[in-house]
Amino acid sequence: MNTFEELNLNKDFIEGLKKQNIDVPTEIQSSVIPVAMENKNIVAESYTGSGKTLAYLLPLFCKVDCSRRENQAIILAPTHELVMQIESQITLLAENSGVSCTSTPIIGEVNIERQIKKLKELKPHIIVGTPGRVLDLIRKKKIACHTVKTIIIDEADRLLTGSSTDIIKNIVKATMRDRQIMCFSATIKKNTLDTVSQFLESYEFIKIDSKASINPNITNYYVVCNQNQKFETLKKALNAANADKSIVFSNSKYDLDNIAMKLNYHNKTTFVLSGNVDKEKRKQAMESFRNGKINILVASDISARGMDIYNVTHIFNLDMPKSANEYIHRSGRTARGNNMGTCISIVSPHELADLKKIQKMLHVDFTEVVLHNGKFQVVDNRKKN
């Protein structure tokens, strides 16, 4: 299906999407929406940036009865950042579509009494939250689960493994038996499916791009240099790219501040995303990044997980990610929706084996480039053979 009209969406939602300059559904949206509208359970795997959020929000909006002031859906996400991004998308879609669908974010480490008051006053149709705080409010009987008809688990690969698994199961048990459950992730592993099978008897499995989970709209480059030349190479690469919005990844959380400090010294407006950053400062920095006052974010895999910002054009890996899965999540910060993006890995000679391994696992070509006279030049590797 090539249009939202063919997906039988309400015209108000289609007009609302146009206000966001979204005219054509992505592949995951075309695949998920018809199945979701049939009220079927779904487990969906699609590369980061493919449009998974709208893939579940659009059919959810079609299901919500806005005339009833009651909790009708719960969306679970692993991080505060992702919760707030989903909440923003719900608010934007509701406003642009002219529908009175209400929602509220529920996250931990904030005043629970204010959340209880908001739930009582607003009676939101959709609750977006982190699992621990959502379960806490369910047990306090502040979230009315008997009216919840839909549960959505975003980044299921994280929420359905480890300690959060039991929390998710308890949330599911508290809701109606005939509710719909939809799970989404860039990668769905066997242990995740095993967990899903513990609370879902049947579901539709939807996978986009069977060969790889990496966004085909991303061009993947790499530059080879010695370990002690990496920062200088990064600086030159940033100049050559001349990007409005870039994210620099490092494997070591201890290097993040140092990298950001050096980039700021060289007149690159930079902010470091780390667990030590105050939430309000992080929120302000993310807004500055969105509106162009900050051009570069320095992040670790954990601190950037779930980040959803359009128009990030370049990703720079100062270190090769430790796994193909992390490469997917890093590179997926660019080329959101149907946009194009570039991922540049700065690798030392001993990291080349890791790069080749990731390339093979993801069935994707990495093109070697060098920096010459302030520009990227493609290396003809045939001459090396």
Count Cα neighbours of 385 within 13 Å in the Cβ-side half-sphere.
4
CA distance 247 to 304: 9
**Average pLDDT per consecutive 10 residues, the chain (385 residues; last block may be shorter):** 86 93 91 97 91 96 96 96 92 96 95 96 97 98 96 96 93 95 93 94 87 79 96 96 94 85 94 79 87 92 72 95 86 87 97 93 92 94 61
Residue 329 has what pLDDT?
A: 84
Q: Is the CB of residue 366 less than 8 Å from the CB of residue 355?
A: yes
Give the pTM.
0.73
Residue 237 has what pLDDT?
A: 97
Count Cα neighbours of 141 within 13 Å in the Cβ-side half-sphere.
0
Residues whose CB is less than 8 angstroms from the CB of residue 345 and which lie 6 or more positions away in sequence, other chains included: 220, 221, 222, 223, 316, 317, 320, 355, 366
The label of the residue with tokens 């950042």 reads 81
Q: Domains in the chain, please, with CATH?
A: 4-207 (3.40.50.300), 218-378 (3.40.50.300)
Residue 382 has what pLDDT?
A: 60
Residue 270 backbone dihedrals phi, psi, to 5 degrees: -135, 145
Residue 308 has what pLDDT?
A: 73
The CA R_g of the chain, rounded to the nearest whole Å, is 21
Q: Is the CB of residue 184 less than 8 Å from the CB of residue 155?
A: yes
Q: Is the CB of residue 159 less than 8 Å from the CB of residue 76?
A: yes
Q: Tell me the per-residue pLDDT of 4-30, one tens digit each, with 9 for 90 and over.
A: 999 999 999 999 999 988 899 999 999
CA distance 18 to 14: 6
CA distance 202 to 213: 24
